[in-house]
Structure formats: C-alpha cells, structure tokens
Amino acid sequence: MWTRIQLAVSGVSLLLLALPCMAADTIGLCVGDDMRQRLHAEMRDLLGAVHGVHTALAERDLEALSTRAAAAGTAMAGQIEKHAGSHHAGLPHDFVKIGRATHAAFDDLATLARDGGADGELWPALSKVSGYCVQCHAKYRLALPGDCATEDEGAGR
Ligand code: HEC
C-alpha cells in the first residue's frame, strides 16, 4: 500500500520535473488569434472524431466508424483551407505535412471500415492516426501571444 503511494508520489514529481523540459523541446508557433481559434476548434473536432471511432469500434458499427473517420479525413482539411483562405500561412512545412498525413490516415481508416475491415486491420489503422496526433504534439505548441509580439517587433513588422 505504502509502496504504491510512494510510487505514485515519485511518479508525479518526475512528471513535474519533466514538464518544463518537454515544453522547451517543443517548437512554439506564432499564429494570429483567428488561426489559434481555428486550430483549437479543429483539434476539438479531431478529438471528437477519435472518440467517435473508438465508440463505433466498441459497438462494431462499421458504418458509423466509416462516417466518423471520413468526416475527419482530407475533406475536413479541405473545408478548413477553404474557409481560412491562407490557413497554412506561417505554419512550418513539416507541421502542415503531419497535419495532412493525419487526415489521410483518417481516410484510410474510413475506407477500411467501409470495406468491412477486420478488427486486426482497424485497430492498427486507428493507431496510425493517434500516432500522428502524438508526433505533432511532441514537436509543436502555440507560442504565447506575448512572446510573438516581441518577435514581430524584432522582425520589423
Ligand atoms: C500538425 C500538428 C497537429 C496534429 C497532427 C494534431 N494536433 Fe492537436 N494540437 C496541435 C497544436 C499546435 C495544438 C495547440 C497547442 C497549444 O495551444 O499550445 C493542439 C491542441 C490540441 C487540443 C487542445 C485543443 C484546445 O481547445 O485547447 C486537442 C484536444 C488536440 N490537439 C487533439 C488532437 C488529436 C486528437 C489529434 C489527432 C487526431 C491531434 N490533435 C493532431 C497540433 C496538432
């Protein structure tokens, strides 16, 4: 019992120690307010899609799975690009690439489900999707607006 509590406590302290380093390892992106809101809205949709896919998998409802995954596929990215006009303006090429790969992985999952894929194929396809979420979050974050204002002045804008 005590060992468990001690383990939990040391786990938490390790996490707290690691947090600042993790933040320092990520690249802070400077985006405008509009893009920040759009990005966060897209992210919440993506999380909703992952949840929808999990639920459909649990119920083995392949039609629902296909619909949910397709909605987060390249069609979603296309809509956002259309509405935002210069949606990707100022975002690093690699960031955009991982984003596109994420939507494409949702497309693959949707196709698999539509073709009646077996669990042994569907789970790895979903894992590929969440792998991209992790990959991008491990690399990028949004910079604090205050940090960006200074950079903008420095760049003479
Ligand atoms: C191409 C990069 C990229 C990919 C891929 C990506 N994210 Fe994000 N995500 C971000 C960034 C950047 C933020 C903003 C972090 C910040 O505010 O510092 C974010 C924030 C979020 C948030 C918080 C939203 C909020 O309102 O605060 C959620 C939830 C999220 N992502 C879920 C996901 C899920 C689920 C996936 C995969 C299906 C995913 N993301 C894929 C870059 C990405």
How many domains does the structure of the chain reveal? 1
Model confidence at 111, pLDDT cuts 50, 70, 90, reads: very high
Please name which of 134, 132, 115, 107 lies closest in space to residue 53, comparing C-alpha atoms: 107
**Closest protein CA for atom 1 of ligand 1:** 99
Are 129 and 120 a contacting pair, CB within 8 Å? no
Model confidence at 112, pLDDT cuts 50, 70, 90, reads: very high
Please state the φ and ψ torsions of residue 155, each to the nearest 5 degrees: -80, 0
The residue to mutate among 19, 27, 43, 53, having the most atoms of ligand 1 within 8 angstroms of its beta carbon, is: 43
Spell out the alpha helix ranges (H) of the chain: 2-25, 33-58, 62-71, 74-84, 93-114, 119-139, 145-154
Q: Name the 3-class secondary structure at 107.
A: helix
In a domain, 97, yes or no: yes
In a domain, 133, yes or no: yes
Which atom belonging to ligand 1 lies closest to the Cα atom of 47? 35
In a domain, 11, yes or no: no
Residue 143 clears pLDDT 50, i.e. is over it: yes
The answer to whether the CB of 40 is under 6 A from ligand 1 is: yes
In a domain, 1, yes or no: no
pLDDT (tens digit per residue) in 52-104: 999 999 999 999 999 999 999 998 887 777 666 555 667 899 999 999 999 99
Domain CATH for 77: 1.20.120.10
**Number of Cα atoms under 13 Å in the Cβ half of residue 55:** 10
Model confidence at 150, pLDDT cuts 50, 70, 90, reads: low
In a domain, 15, yes or no: no
Give the C-alpha separation, 153 to 52, whole Å.
43
In a domain, 20, yes or no: no
CB atoms within 10 A of CB 5: 9
**Distance from Cα 135 to the centre of ligand 1, integer Å:** 10
The answer to whether the CB of 98 is under 6 A from ligand 1 is: yes
* Residue range of the domain that includes 90: 27-154
Predicted confidence at residue 25, as pLDDT, reads 87
**Closest protein CA for atom 25 of ligand 1:** 40
For the entire predicted model, the pTM comes to 0.82
Paired tokens of 5: 């509590």
Residue 119 clears pLDDT 90, i.e. is over it: yes
Please state the φ and ψ torsions of residue 116, each to the nearest 5 degrees: 70, 35
In a domain, 116, yes or no: yes
**How high does pLDDT run on average in the chain?**
83
Mean pLDDT confidence for 17-46: 80
